[in-house]
Structure 1
Amino acid sequence: MSLELNDTLQTLVDGLTENFSDKLIEVYQSSGDTFVRVEADSILEISKYLKKKQHFVFLCDVFGNDRYTSDERFEVVYNLMNLRTQTRVFIKVRVEEENPTLESVSSVWKAAGWNEREVYDMFGVRFENHPDLRRIFMPEDFEYFPMRKEFPLLGIPGSIELPNTTPDTE
Structure 2
Amino acid sequence: MRMIAESGLERLTMAALGREVGMSSGHLAYHFGSKDELLLRTLEWSEGRLGEERKRILEGPGSARERLDAYVDLYVPSGPRDPHWTLWLEVWNRSQNAAVGASARPRQSAIERAWHDDLVALLIEGVARGELRAVDPDRCAARLRALLDGFSIHVAIGLPGAERAQALAHVREFVEEGLAA
Higher-helix-fraction structure? 2
- Point out the structure with the larger strand share: 1
Rg: which structure is higher?
1
**Normalising by the residue count of structure 2, what TM-score does the alignment of the two structures yield?**
0.29
Using CA pairs below 8 Å that are at least 6 residues apart, which structure has the higher relative contact order? Answer: 2
- What TM-score does the superposition give when structure 1 sets the normalisation length? 0.31
